[in-house]
Amino acid sequence: MISIKRVSLIVFIDKFFSIAEISIIVLILKATVFGILFVLTLLVLGYMVPREDFVMQLIGYVIAFGSYLLLVFEFEYRVIGLWSGIVGAVILRMVFIVALPELSDDFYRYFYDGQLLRNGINPYLYLPHVAFVETGIVSNAYWEMLLTQMNSPAYFSVYPPLHQVIFWISAMSGENLLYNIVTIRFIIIAFDILNIFLIWKITQEWKVSNQVLWLYAFNPLVIIEISGNLHLEGIVLTGLLLSIYAFSKKKQFSSSLGWSLAVGLKLTPLIIGPLWLKAWKGKKLISFLVVSGLVILILLIPLTIGNGAVGFLESLRLYQRNFEFNASIYYFLREIISFFLGYNPIAYLGPALNLVAFFGILGFVYFWKVDKAEDLAEGIVLLYLIFLLLQPVVHPWYLIPAFGISVLTKNRVFLIWSFLVFLSYAAYRYPEVKESWLLLGVEYGVLFGYLGYKISRAYQ
């Protein structure tokens, strides 16, 4: 009796659907299942698993990344329609809408700076732990929570003025942490949706598959670090994508505005500066440089108010000379040098590697040709790679601008790194940050192994 039913079902399906249609239906069902699994995994990571529980965090991230790869590569762009894919990407980002950021506590400083601005106080002039005394702010439970939970109470704010504008907007929702989180999250998600739109526009312009769009839109690191942990690197990416898209359209004014926005948010995109000298020619180069210089200057002017630049630069120097996390080349050299010196050489090794990065970037740009927009995108990805591999601090969210641009190229090093970098969160298993040499070895062993493989293939 069972066999008769099965035969009847097969006959029924065969009557109404072709083999090709059946395979598409099966793929769509699989995509739906993995999409639901993706959402459920993000819910668990965002609301149920503390960052101290690294094993569960890692298991969740592996499941999310596996679902992501299956959605992007197994089902390809023909199964995921444009609008259904965009809706899915938005849903994945909205999963965290009322979640407290779990993997990073930077947001406490965001709102502290924002509340200072809301009260008419320059956040670059006062150290958080003395601001109450020097500014006359009346302390309450909200302010005390921000002060005690932030990770930088003894440092001047290191966030550029455009960051501060977003902090101020989020603080306008009042002295309520949840309201602040939801406000800034809506802003960040809005810009990330703009990123998806810009990547789509570029794929249309360059006539490439929509698959690269899903490489960015569904990437778990992007979703967790931007929507979940509230990092603004997604907005930096918005500026860089705008600059690349405008370059492909030969619009130097819009391109300069995009790059200036990225620099105004975070100074790191300055590393791209030399590449623009190869990208633009003649009068367009002059126009690009003039507009960029003026806009960046205007965006940084708030630092000069009340001598705020002094504290800002002091924190930047402190950051380069005192902090280390998830580094690669830096850690390797540190261990060798400290073996002979008997102490940590970070005070001069960090700045020295920045100098190496500077000359490395200039050398790379000298030999790199920018004949089309695709060359520009590939060049930016490689510049970020040079820079990040030489830094003493590489937090996971630092990869996002480079990853977002890399999906437009055939270079998949940042895709691989976006998976491996999550291993760095093992350092938060303990009250005191303690990195695992084993996991660092796995992360950078695989990464450098892949780079070596690609380089050897290029010369075959």
The tokens describing 153, both together, are 């109470």
- pLDDT (0 to 100) of residue 1: 47
Give the Cα separation of 299 and 162 in Å (integer). 7
Nearest to 112 by CA among 173, 167, 160: 167
Q: Among the residues of 249-368, which ranges form H helices?
A: 252-265, 273-279, 282-300, 308-322, 329-341, 346-367
Kindly report the number of other CB atoms within 10 A of residue 440's CB atom: 18
Burial 92-103 (b: 16+ CB within 10 A, else e): bbebbeebebbb
- pLDDT (0 to 100) of residue 431: 83
Give the Cα separation of 77 and 210 in Å (integer). 6
Residues 6+ apart with CB under 8 A from 61: 45, 220, 224, 422
The tokens describing 280, both together, are 């633009």
- pLDDT (0 to 100) of residue 317: 83
The tokens describing 340, both together, are 């002979």
Asked if 35 and 67 touch (Cβ cutoff 8 Å), the reply is yes
- pLDDT (0 to 100) of residue 338: 92
Residues 6+ apart with CB under 8 A from 233: 225, 226, 266, 397, 398, 400, 401
The CA-atom distances, in angstroms, between 20 and each of 14, 23, 76, 439 are: 11, 5, 15, 44
pTM above 0.85, yes or no: yes
- pLDDT (0 to 100) of residue 23: 60
Nearest to 236 by CA among 188, 199, 280, 164: 188
Residues 283-287: contacts with CB under 8 Å, at least 24 apart: 284/250, 284/252, 285/252, 287/252, 287/253, 287/256
Per-residue pLDDT of the chain (460 residues; tens, 9 = 90+): 455 655 554 554 555 556 655 666 666 677 778 788 999 999 999 999 999 999 999 999 999 999 999 888 766 645 567 888 889 999 999 999 999 999 999 999 999 999 999 999 999 998 888 887 788 788 889 999 999 999 888 889 999 999 999 999 999 999 999 999 999 999 999 999 999 999 999 999 999 888 889 999 999 999 999 999 999 999 999 999 999 999 999 999 999 999 999 999 999 999 999 999 999 999 999 999 999 999 999 999 999 888 888 888 888 888 888 899 999 999 999 999 998 888 888 888 999 999 999 999 999 999 999 999 999 999 999 999 999 999 999 999 999 999 999 999 999 999 999 999 999 999 999 888 899 999 999 999 999 999 999 988 877 7
- pLDDT (0 to 100) of residue 26: 66
Give the Cα separation of 439 and 302 in Å (integer). 41
